Structures are given as C-alpha cells and as structure tokens.
C-alpha cells in the first residue's frame, strides 16, 4: 500500500512534467502560415535560478526521477515525436528567417538601385538642362547679334534711301525751276503776241462792223418801204372784195376783223400769211350766216361733238375705274369680300358689315365652348379696335386640317366689320422673282379698304418657313423679307391672320410679329354631334329649299329626301364612332350620306343606311391614317 501511495504521486508528477513539457513544446511550435516570432531571451533571474537549480541535489534527483518515469511512460514515443516535430519546426523557422532575410536584402538592393537610378536621372536632367540653357544662351546671343546686324543694315538702308530721296528731290527741284523759267518765257512771248493780234483783230472787226451796219440800215429802209407799199395795195384790194361780198350783212366791217387778227396774231404770221386765207375764212362765215339751216346744223354738230367728247371722257374714266377695281385685285388673292360693283343698287342688295356684326356671327361655326368664347372676344376686340382707330393685333391659327381655321377667319372679319381676303402660301413659290412685287401689291391693295382688311394666309408655312432651311430658294427668302418689311410695325388698316398645320416651321421673325396664337384641335364628341346635326340639316333636310322660284320653272324639281328614324341617339352613336374626324371630314361624311340616299330609288334615309355609311367612312379614315403612318415610316427622312 505504501508503494502504491508513493507511485501515485510519482506518476502524477511525471504526468504533470510531461504535460508541462508538451505545453512548452506546443508553445514553441511555428506554423507555416503564421509570422515567425523569435522566443524572447530568458531573464537574468531565471538564469540565476537555473544555476541555483543545478546546484540543488534534490532538484537533480527529481529531474532524474522524472526522466526515468518519462522513459518508462507509455507516452515516451509520442513525446519523442513531438520533440522531433518541434525541432523540425524550429529548423523551418530558421530557414524562413533566412529566406526573409534574403528577401529583405533583395528589397534593400532594389531600393538602393532605385536611388542610384533616380540620382542618375537627376544628374542627366541637370546635364540636359545645363546643355539646353547653354544652347538657349547661344541662341539668344545669335538672335541678338542678328538683330543688331539687321538693325544696323536697316539704318544703313534708311540712310541710303534718304540720301537717294534727297538727291532726287534736288534734281526734281532743279528741273522744275528750269522748266518754270522756260515756261514763263514762252508764256510771256505768247501773251505779247496775243495782245498784238487782239488789237489788230479789234480794229479790223470794228471797221467791218461799221461797214455792215451802215449797209444793213440802208437795205432795211429800202425793203421796209417796198413791203409797206405792197401790203397797202393788197389790203385795199381784199378789203374792197370782202366789203362787196358781205354788203348784205348789217354792221359787217372786214377792216375791223383784219385789224383784230393783225393785232392778236404774231407780227411775222400776220405779214407772211397768204391773203387768200382771209378770203376762204370770210367766205365760210358768209355761207354759214346766210343759210339758217346750215347755221342750226352747225350749232347742233358743235354741241353734239362737245357732248360726245365729254361723255366719252367721263365714261372712259368711270369704266377704267370699274375695270381697275375688278382687275386691280392682286392675282394672289383667291377670295375677297371687297365689292366689285361700285353701284348704289349693289350696296343696297348686299348686307352691310354692321348688320352682320349685330347678329351672332358664329352660328355655323361649331367649336369647343372655351375656344368659341375666345374667338368671339377677339372679334369684338377687333371691331372696337377699328372704331377707336387703334392698331390691330395679328393672329395665328394652327391645328390639323379641316378644323375650321378659314371659316373662323371669314366669320371674324364679318363679325368685326372688316373686309376679308384670303391667299394661299403655296401660290407664292411658283412666282419666283415676282413674288416680292405681288406681296407689296397685296398690302397696297389692302390699304385701299375703308373698313380695314383681314388678310388671311392659309398654309403660311409654305413660304414663311425658317430662313436657314436648305430647301428655301432665294425668291422665297425675298418674299419672306418683303412680308417682314410690311408687317414690321403694327398696322391700323390690316389684320394679318396666319393658318398653318406646322407652327414650328415658321420663321422666328414671323412668330415675333404674332400677338394672338390660337390652337384649333379636332372636335370632341359634343362638337361632332353638333356638326352632324348642322350638316344633316344643311345637306339633307333643307336641300329642297335651295332652288329658286325661277329655276323651278325651267328645271326639273328634285325629289325630296325622306328621313326616317334618324334620331339624336343615332347621331350620338355616330359621334362616338367618328372619333378623330375633323369638321371637313364630317361634312364629307354627310355629303356621302346624301349621295347614298340619292342612289336609292325611294330617296329614304333610314338608320341602317346611315350607320352603314358611317362605318364605311370610319374604316376609310383608319385606313388613311395607317397609310399615312406607313408613308412616314418609309420616307427618306425617317430612314436616315
């Protein structure tokens, strides 16, 4: 039992020692993926304790006992393997340390070489800079030397030129002085010669003049005496003949008539006129006054001639004024409300603009309520502008085709009491160089209107497009500039209204002259219903009332269309189906319904026929839109 008790502490001590050794060995293990850590040196106290430990026999005995127990322990082999691994690990750590030292040495070498290369580069740069500085210095010296030489050469040339100029001036002055002296001598000689010739000619002319004057005086006196004697004889002869001829007329004195004409006619004419003229004149008066019938016919002829001349002159003036008013309308104007018959009767038959302005004015125009209110407001404002003699405001209507832009412009002119004229922008391009003249003629003609003119330009983008466009010709550019010149200031005579489907294509200067911009969208469902009712009433229900009483006497009376079952509900259904239709398309749709009714033998319009035409036109409308979209997709502009 005692041995067993002694063995247990010994075994425990050996196990503890083995564990301590194992822990110590594990603490000194170095892994390949970890950092190498050199074990710290033992403290001096520990070394002193070791020496003390070596001198203690009990300690040595315990150590020997532990070694024996370790040898006898079954873990001896594992301990040896562990110690070998520890040694191998230590060797690997040493090798890793050597490798690390080699790497550090290589890094230091690389760093050293970098520093050397950097120093070499800096030295080379310094050398290059020194060389460049030396070259620049040499170049500066060469330039300064060349500049100095050039300046010296320039001064030398300037001095040489000055010397040459001074020499030339001196030579020119000497030549001029010589020529002037020679010219003065020549001039003095010519003056003296001319003076001598003048005196000689003067004396000669004076003598010749005195001789001619004396001879002329003598000849004139002789000729005058001869002519006076001849005229006295002729006068006495013709006076005797005339007095004998008109002796039956009381108070007739031929001498007084001849004296009158001799006083009033020029002297040369009275002396040179043939005396037979007086005989013919006096004979004509004698025949006229002696025959009463001839006298009355003469008076009537003279009166008729005067009346004819006056009537022809005044009639030609009136006719020319009328023709000028008709033919004076510019060729670009397609439609105008200015009267062509300047007669009071035509003015009485034609309703005045004031009477038109008192009515609704926009009864046949179906628009959105807000748009219609704005149009009516503009019409009233335009009328008040004219009455107050204020400048008009220019407008632009834009929107899809067939939305009522032209109709609204015409009704606005009637509502505001203005004359109306319409032109198309597409007519300007074919005129070429004459377009500028035609544009000025339109504005000059429009200013003749006493009530003011509303000038409506449809398809304005055809010749008022952007001026930087490559497709714009020089003639169109000139026409645009002419229109810009005439619309530069606000006018008191002309309201310019532009209509376009593409407002973005207009020139910026044109849009700057526009005061009111109004969009005309496609009609909505309510507007389409009103348009269907309007055109149905216009084309079908009131068709038979269009013919006059005189035409019904000679022409065959048209058959009346019988409408059955076409109610407001049917019209609302048609309005829903015709989504996207413009006002013009709806008018054509109702015209197609009218044609279909006339194609039937009974001329009856029923809901079936009405809806059939509606469906056909709706399908045609969609097909047209499809073709237009395909055309845009395949156009060169879309492909590029």
**Domains, the chain, with CATH or none:** 2-73 (no CATH), 254-290 (no CATH), 351-521 (3.40.50.300), 532-547+556-639 (no CATH)
Residue 521 near residue 481, CB atoms below 8 Å: no
Task: Please name the residues in contact with 250: beta carbons below 8 A apart, sequence gap of 6 or more.
Answer: none
Cα–Cα distance, 590 to 611 (Å, whole number): 11
- What whole-number distance in Å separates Cα of residue 26 and Cα of residue 539? 115
Distance between terminal CA atoms of the chain?
114
Q: Give residues with Cβ within 8 angstroms of 37, minimum separation 6.
A: 30
pLDDT at 20: 47
| DSSP per-residue string spanning 23-89 | HHHHHT---TTSPP-PPPPPPHHHHHHHHHHHH-HHHHHHHHHHHHHHHHSTTHHHHHHHHHHHHHH
**Residues 6+ positions from 238 with CB-CB distance below 8 Å:** 254, 258, 275, 278, 279
Question: Which uninterrupted H or E stretch holds 415?
Answer: helix 405-416
How far is CA 444 from each of CA 434, 437, 449, rounded to the nearest angstrom? 15, 10, 10
User: What are the distances in angstroms from CA 214 to CA 144, 204, 288, 302?
Assistant: 98, 16, 53, 56
State the Cα–Cα distance between residues 443 and 448, nearest whole angstrom.
9
The tokens describing 85, both together, are 């691994």
Give CA–CA dist 399/404, Å, rounded.
9
Nearest to 512 by CA among 397, 396, 422: 396
> Is residue 374 within 8 Å of residue 518, measured between CB atoms?
yes
Q: Is the dihedral of CA 327, 329, 332, 337 positive or negative?
A: negative
Half-sphere exposure of 313 toward its Cβ, with a 13 Å CA cutoff?
Answer: 6
DSSP count for the chain of H helices, then E strands? 21, 8
Q: Is the pTM of this model over 0.85?
A: no
Q: Which residues pair with 563 in a beta bridge?
A: 605
CA geometry: angle 320, 326, 328, nearest 5 deg: 85
User: Which residues make Cβ contacts (< 8 Å) with residue 174, sequence separation at least 6?
Assistant: none
Contact 498, 539 (CB under 8 A): no
CA 116 to chain centre: 72
Q: What is the pLDDT of residue 100?
A: 92
Give pLDDT, residue 339: 63
- Lookup: tokens for 518: 């109004």
Which of 529, 345, 335, 467 minimizes the C-alpha distance to 414? 335
- Structure confidence at residue 34 (pLDDT): 44
CA distance 455 to 497: 6
DSSP-assigned states of every residue in 244-300: HHTTTSTT--HHHHHHHHHHHS-HHHHHHS-HHHHHHHHHHHHHHHH-HHHHHHHHH
Would you give the distance in Å from CA 551 to the centre of its chain? 53
Q: What are the tokens at 636?
A: 């060169």
pLDDT of residue 497: 92
The enclosing H or E element of 2 equals helix 2-27
Average pLDDT per consecutive 10 residues, the chain (640 residues; last block may be shorter): 42 48 45 46 49 64 79 75 87 91 92 91 90 90 90 88 88 89 88 86 80 74 74 70 56 53 47 50 60 73 81 78 64 77 42 41 78 90 86 90 88 87 87 88 86 89 78 82 88 90 88 91 91 87 57 58 85 91 90 88 86 90 85 56
Tokens 């079952």: give the residue: 565
């Amino acid at each position: 039992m005692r041995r067993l008790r002694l063995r247990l502490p010994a075994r425990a001590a050996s196990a503890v020692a083995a564990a301590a050794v194992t822990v110590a060995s594990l603490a000194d293990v170095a892994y390949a993926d970890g950092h190498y850590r050199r074990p710290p040196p033992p403290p001096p106290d520990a070394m002193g304790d070791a020496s003390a430990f070596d001198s203690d026999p009990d300690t040595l005995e315990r150590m020997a006992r532990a070694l024996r127990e370790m040898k006898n322990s079954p873990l001896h082999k594992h301990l040896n393997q562990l110690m070998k691994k520890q040694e191998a690990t230590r060797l690997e750590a040493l090798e890793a340390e050597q490798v690390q030292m080699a790497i550090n040495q290589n890094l230091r070498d690389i760093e050293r070489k970098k520093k050397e290369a950097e120093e070499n580069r800096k030295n080379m740069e310094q050398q290059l800079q020194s060389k460049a500085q030396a070259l620049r210095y040499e170049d500066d010296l060469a330039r300064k030397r060349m500049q100095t030489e050039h300046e010296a050469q320039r001064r030398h040339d300037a001095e040489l030129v000055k010397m040459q100029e001074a020499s030339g001036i001196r030579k020119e002055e000497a030549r001029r002085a010589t020529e002037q002296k020679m010219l003065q001598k020549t001039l003095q000689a010519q003056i003296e010669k001319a003076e001598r010739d003048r005196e000689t000619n003067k004396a000669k002319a004076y003598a010749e003049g005195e001789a001619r004057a004396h001879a002329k005086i003598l000849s004139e006196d002789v000729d005058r005496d001869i002519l006076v004697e001849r005229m006295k004889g002729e006068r006495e002869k013709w006076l005797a003949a005339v007095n004998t001829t008109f002796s039956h007329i009381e108070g007739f004195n031929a001498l007084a008539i001849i004296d009158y004409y001799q006083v009033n006619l020029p002297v040369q004419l009275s002396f040179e006129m043939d005396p037979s003229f007086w005989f013919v004149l006096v004979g004509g008066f004698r025949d006229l006054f002696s025959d009463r019938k001839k006298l009355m016919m003469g008076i009537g002829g003279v009166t008729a001639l005067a009346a004819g001349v006056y009537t022809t002159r005044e009639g030609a003036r009136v006719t020319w004024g009328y023709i000028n008013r008709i033919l004076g309308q510019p060729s670009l104007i397609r439609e105008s409300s200015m009267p062509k018959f300047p007669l009071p009767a035509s003015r009485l038959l034609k309703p005045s603009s004031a009477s038109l302005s008192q009515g609704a004015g926009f009864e046949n125009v179906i628009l959105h309520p807000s748009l219609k209110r704005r149009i009516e407001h503009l019409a009233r404002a335009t009328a008040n502008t004219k009455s107050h003699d204020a400048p008009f405001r220019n407008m632009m209507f834009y929107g899809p085709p067939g939305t009522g832009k032209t109709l609204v412009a015409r009704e606005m002119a009637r509502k505001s009491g203005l004359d109306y004229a319409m032109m198309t922008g597409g007519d300007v391009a074919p005129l070429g160089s004459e377009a500028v003249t035609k544009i000025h003629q339109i504005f000059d003609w429009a200013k003749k209107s006493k009530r003011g003119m509303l000038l409506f330009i449809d398809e304005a983008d055809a010749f008022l497009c952007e001026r930087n466009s490559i497709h714009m010709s020089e003639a169109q550019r000139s026409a645009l500039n002419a229109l810009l010149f005439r619309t530069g200031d606000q006018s008191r005579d002309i309201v310019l209204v532009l209509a376009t489907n593409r407002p973005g294509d207009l020139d910026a200067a044109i849009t700057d002259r526009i005061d009111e911009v109004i969009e005309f969208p496609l009609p909505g469902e309510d507007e389409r219903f009103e348009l269907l009712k309007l055109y149905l009433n216009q084309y079908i229900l009131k068709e038979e009332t269009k013919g006059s009483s005189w035409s019904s006497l000679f022409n065959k009376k048209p058959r009346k269309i019988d409408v059955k079952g076409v109610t407001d509900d049917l019209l609302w259904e048609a309005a829903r189906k015709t989504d996207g239709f413009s006002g013009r398309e709806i008018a054509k749709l109702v015209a197609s319904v009218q044609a279909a009714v006339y194609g039937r033998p009974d001329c009856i319009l029923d809901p079936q026929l009405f809806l059939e035409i509606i469906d056909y036109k709706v399908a045609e409308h969609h097909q047209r839109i499809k073709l237009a979209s395909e055309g845009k997709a395949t156009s060169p502009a879309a492909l590029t």
